[in-house]
Chains A and B, each alone.
Chain A
Amino acid sequence: DESYTIDVPVSGKATLKAKTPYGAIRGLETFSQLVSANGYAKVITNTPIQIKDAPVYPHRGLVIDTARNFLSVKTIYRILDSMSYNKLNVFHWHVIDSQSWPIESKTFPDLHLKGAYSKEQTYLYDDVKNVIAYAKDRGIRVIPEIDVPGHTYIVSLAKPEIMSCVNKQPNWDRYAAEPPSGQLNIAKPESIDFTNKLIDEYTKLFPDQVFHLGGDEVNRNCWNEDPDVKAYLAAHPGEDVESLLANYYTKVHDHLETTGKDGFSWEETLVHSKYVPKNNTIIQVWIDQAAVKTAVEKGYRVVSSHHDYLYLDCGHGAWLPNNDGNSWCDPFKTWMHVYNYDPAANITNPAQRKLILGTEAAIWAEQTDETVIDIRLWPRAAAVAETTWSGKTDSTGHVRKTEEVASRLHEQRFRMVGRGISAEPMQPLWCARNPGSCNL
C-alpha cells in the first residue's frame, strides 16, 4: 500500500499519514516538493493543503541495462534516488547480456571472472545487497533479469560447451538481434541444468517475489544451423526447434516455481513460442500494443515497455560504425510522446484493465554509460512516472495534455538538477519562465 494523506495547515503542525512506510515515503517526497525558497528562508504556498494520494498502477519501473555498458554502484544509487523523486517503485535490473556478465556468481565464478569487463566493473554479492537495501529504503523493489536462452554470448567465455552460434562473423545478423551472437544450446540438458542452478543462486540473492527470465529475441537460425542441434533432432524425429524451446521454457519456469517465485517474461515467450507460460507469470510487452490485449485476454498480468513510447535509448542513430543509418527504434521519444502513452489504450474490459500492472521505461545501454545515464532518463521518465502514478485523466475525467503539463515538468526537472541529477533541459529557459509561449 503506497497511499498517504497530507495535511498542511496555514499555521502549525502538518501531518502525514500512511498505512505503510512506503506510503509515508511517497508522502515525504510530495511534501518536499511543496517547499520552495522564500528569500533566504523557505515557505509552503497555497495552504491549507489537503492531499489524499494513491497510485493508479502498482508497478512503475525502469529497465536498466548494466551489461552492454557498465554502471557503477554509485551511479545505480543515484538512479534509485532519482526514481524516488518521481515515486517510481521498480528497478528492473537487466544485469547480464551478450556483451558482459558483471554480477558475481558463486556457482559458476568463471562467468564474472571471465565475463565482466574488468574486476572493477563487477557487482559482488555485497554490492548487490547494498543496492537492494538502498532501493528498499526508497520503496523500490529490485527485480533481477537473467535473460535466457538468447542474449547469452557471454556465457561462452565460461562454458563454451553449452552454446550455439558463438560470435558468428561477419554475418552475426543471421543469428542474433545484435553482435555478438550466441545462445544457450537448448538441445543440451546441461543448458537447462545451468539455467536452473543460476535460478537457485539468484532467487536466494534477490528477495523480490518476482524473477525475470528474459526470453526475448530468440533466434531460430542459431539452432537450426547448429550441428549439435541438427544431430539431436535427427536422432529425435518427433522433436523440432520449437518443441525444444518450449521444453526449455517449461523446465526452467517449473524450476523457478519450486523457489516460490513468480516468473516475469518478455512477450515472445507468450506470442512467439509454443510454450504456454504459467498463469502467474507476468508478461512484459515491448513489441506492440496488440500483445497487451493478447496477454490480458488470456488472463496474464502485464507490464508494458512499448518500445515506441518507453524505450528511452532510441533516437541516437545506428551504433554499428559502418552503417550511416538510424537506430531500429528511431525516432527519439520526446517527453510529450512518452506522456501521451496509455498502457491500457486498447483494453475496455475492467477486469482485464486490472491485469495491467503498469509500465517500465527502458534504457538499453549500447550507447549509454555513466557519462549520459541521467540525461537519457530524465526528465522523460518523469512523464511516465506521472501517468502511471496519477493516470491519464485528472479528477474531472479530462485527459491531461502535454501543454498543460509542461510547466510542472519544467519545475520537476529543475528541482532534480538541484538535487544532483543531470536531467536534460526541455526548452530554452525563456520558455520555462513563460508558460504557454512555446507552443506550436
Chain B
Amino acid sequence: DGSSTPVLRSAIQRYSDIINREHFTAPVNYKQGVLRTSGTFRGLKVAVSSATDDLQFGVDESYELSIPVDGEATLTAKTPYGALHGLETFSQLVSANGQGRAIQNTPIHIRDAPAFPHRGILFDTARNYFPVRAILRTLDAMSYNKMNVFHWHIVDSHSWPIQSKTHPELQAKGSYGPEWQYSYQDVQRVIQHAKERGIRVIPEFDVPGHTMAIGYSHPELMSCMNVLPDWTPYAADPGSGQLNIAKNESIALTKDIVGEYAQLFPDHFFHLGGDEVNRNCWKDDAYVQEYLKQHPREDIESLLARFYSEVHGHLQKQGKAAFSWEETLFHSTYTPPKDTVIQTWIDETSIPKAVARGYRSIASPSNAYYLDCGEGGWYSNSDDDSWCDPFKTWMHIYNFDPLANVTDVEQQKLVLGGEVCVWTPQTDEHRVDPKIWPRACALAETAWSGKKDANGRVRTTGEVASRLHEQRFRMVGRGINAEPMQPLWCARNPGACNL
C-alpha cells in the first residue's frame, strides 16, 4: 500500500522468506506444546509514505505495527527503512506452534523509533581479510538487530585490500594477494546489500598513522617503515609505518585516495582515521629532521595540523563530512571542522569532553565496546594479556551508557550513538560470527531502545538475559554462528543462573 520502492519490495520479499522458513521456539518455551489460537492471521499490510530510497544519516526509522487478535495486521512507516525495522520486529513476534506458527499476546500495538541514530559495527578487514560473503552475513545479522551503520575499516598497516583505480599499485603491492582483495564490484555489492537492510556504509581510510601497507608501493612516502626488531617506539602494534607528513606527495596521495573513495561510497560521511599517531616516527626520520631544519618555524605538530587541514579540506570539497578518531581533536593542534563527528575510544571521559567542545560524537570505548579484547596478547614471544583485556561480556557492554556524565540536554543530543569494534588481529572468517554475536546485540538494544524502560528505570542484565537468549537462538536458526551465553539449562530456566 502507498509507495513502493526497490528497497521496500526487496525487504518484503526477504522477510516473507525468513518468516516462511523459520520455525522458531524460544528456549524458555521448550515444554510449551501446542497453543490454541483465538484468531487467524490474514496478512500484513505495509504502508510507507515516502517515495524515495534515500539512505543518509538522520533518515526516519520509526514505524507503527498493529496486530489484531484476528485479521489483517498493519505496518506503517514514513520511509522504507522504518518499514524494514518494523518487518524485523514482526518476524520476531512469530513463533512455531506445533507444525504451524502463531503470534502470541495479541492484540499488539507497537510504536517504535530509535533512541540513537548511529548504531554500528566497526569491521577491520585489513589485519585479516574477510571474503565478501562474511561481510554480507554480518550485514544480515546487523539487520536482525536494527543496527544501521557498517563502519568499514578497510585498510590499515597490515594490508590494503581495496581496489584503487587512481593508484592500482596500492592493492597490487599492499594486499595479501589477488584472492584477498575487494574490487569495485565487491564494494558496490556490499553497499547495495547494506542499503537493502537500512545499513549505511561509512568507509575509513585511516591516515596518517596505520599506513605501512601504503609503503609497499610507495616506500618513498613513508617514515619508520617496518622498523625491526624494535617497533615499539614507533607504533602501537608491530608493522610500523606512517605517511611522511613533511612531504607534499603524501598529502597529494591522500587527496587522491579521498577523492576516489568519496565517489565510490555514497554516504555523506567519510572516516579519515587519525588514531594512534606516533611522534617518534617523524622525530627520528632523517627527511623530516632535515625539513624542520630548513623550516625552523614549523614543527611536527604544525606539520600534522597542516596534513589534517589539507585532507579534511579536500574531503569538504567532495561535499562530504568527516568522521575522525578522538586524537585529531584532543591530541593535535588541529581543530576539525565543526561538522566532523568524533569517534571516541580511549575511555568513558572522551564523550563528555567531545560534546563539551560542541562536536557530534559516537561512543566506542575500548573498555566496553571493543569486541576483540580478551584473547590475550598476540606477540609470539610474550605470554601476556592483551592491552585491553579482559573480555567484554554482553553484560558489560549492556551496562555501558553512552550518555554517562553528559548532563546538559543540548550536549546529549550531540551523542549520535555507538559502535562495537571488531579489530581483527586474532579474527578471520572462521571465528567472526561468534566474536560479534550475540554481544553486539547488547549495544543494538541500548542504542535503539536506550538504557531505560517505559517507567524510566534502567534495565538490568539479569532481566534482559532471557530476551537475549531468545535472540541468540533465533539468530543461530537464521544461519549466524552466535556463541552461546550459558548452558542451555540456564536459558530454559530464567533466573536460575544468577549470582
**CB neighbours of B452 from chain A (8 A):** none
Let me know if B101 is at the binding interface, CB within 8 A: no
Q: Considering only CB atoms, which chain B residue lies closest to A169 in the complex?
A: B496
Let me know if A125 is at the binding interface, CB within 8 A: no
Q: Considering only CB atoms, which chain A residue lies closest to B469 in the complex?
A: A321
Find out whether the CB atom of B489 lies under 8 angstroms from the CB atom of A180: yes
Q: Give CA–CA (A417, B430) in the complex, Å.
A: 8
Interface residues of B in 175-222 (CB under 8 A from A): 176, 180
**CB neighbours of B335 from chain A (8 A):** none
Q: Give CA–CA (A423, B497) in the complex, Å.
A: 30
Find out whether the CB atom of B380 lies under 8 angstroms from the CB atom of A322: no
Nearest CB on A from B43, distance (A): 33
Let me know if A99 is at the binding interface, CB within 8 A: yes
Q: Considering only CB atoms, which chain A residue lies closest to B213 in the complex?
A: A430
Question: Count the B residues whose beta carbon is within 8 Å of the partner chain — how many?
Answer: 66
Find out whether the CB atom of A439 lies under 8 angstroms from the CB atom of B229: yes
Q: Given A334-B376, A371-B481, are A429 and B128 also a contact pair (CB < 8 Å)?
A: yes
Interface residues of A in 314-351 (CB under 8 A from B): 315-324, 326, 330-334, 336-337, 340
* Partner-contacting stretch, out of A6-14, A132-140, A195-203, A360-368: A360-368
Nearest CB on A from B404, distance (A): 14
Find out whether the CB atom of A369 lies under 8 angstroms from the CB atom of B484: yes
Q: Given A429-B158, A439-B238, are A323 and B487 also a contact pair (CB < 8 Å)?
A: no
Find out whether the CB atom of A367 lies under 8 angstroms from the CB atom of B485: yes
Let me know if B382 is at the binding interface, CB within 8 A: yes
Find out whether the CB atom of B483 lies under 8 angstroms from the CB atom of A425: no
Contact check: which of A173, A320, A425, A426 meets B430 at CB < 8 Å? A425
Find out whether the CB atom of B128 lies under 8 angstroms from the CB atom of A371: no
Q: Given A331-B390, A424-B426, A439-B229, are A336 and B485 also a contact pair (CB < 8 Å)?
A: no
Q: Considering only CB atoms, which chain B residue lies closest to A316 in the complex?
A: B391
Find out whether the CB atom of A331 lies under 8 angstroms from the CB atom of B430: no
Q: Give CA–CA (A1, B157) in the complex, Å.
A: 49
Nearest CB on A from B411, distance (A): 27
Q: Give CA–CA (A180, B486) in the complex, Å.
A: 12
* Partner-contacting stretch, out of A205-213, A233-241, A400-408: A400-408
Find out whether the CB atom of B487 lies under 8 angstroms from the CB atom of A324: no
Find out whether the CB atom of A403 lies under 8 angstroms from the CB atom of B376: no
Find out whether the CB atom of A324 lies under 8 angstroms from the CB atom of B238: no
Q: Given A330-B390, A437-B226, are A425 and B427 also a contact pair (CB < 8 Å)?
A: yes
Find out whether the CB atom of A324 lies under 8 angstroms from the CB atom of B490: no
Q: Considering only CB atoms, which chain B residue lies closest to A422 in the complex?
A: B430
**CB neighbours of B232 from chain A (8 A):** 440
Interface 1/0s, chain B 220-242, versus A by CB < 8 A?
00000010110010000011000
Residues in B lying within 8 Å of A, measured CB to CB: 30, 127-129, 157-159, 176, 180, 226, 228-229, 232, 238-239, 374-385, 389-393, 395-396, 399, 424-428, 430-431, 433-434, 460-462, 464-465, 476, 481-490, 493, 495-499
- 6 smallest CB-CB distances across A and B, nearest first, come from A322-B462, A334-B376, A317-B393, A321-B465, A403-B381, A406-B380
Q: List 18 contacting pairs A-B, 8 Å CB cutoff, sorted by A.
A: A99-B488, A173-B499, A317-B391, A319-B486, A321-B465, A321-B498, A334-B376, A334-B383, A368-B483, A371-B481, A371-B482, A371-B484, A374-B430, A403-B381, A431-B380, A437-B239, A438-B379, A439-B229
- What would 13 more interface pairs be, CB under 8 Å, given A321-B485, A322-B460, A367-B485? A99-B488, A180-B497, A315-B374, A319-B486, A320-B498, A324-B396, A331-B374, A336-B381, A371-B476, A425-B430, A431-B238, A431-B239, A439-B229
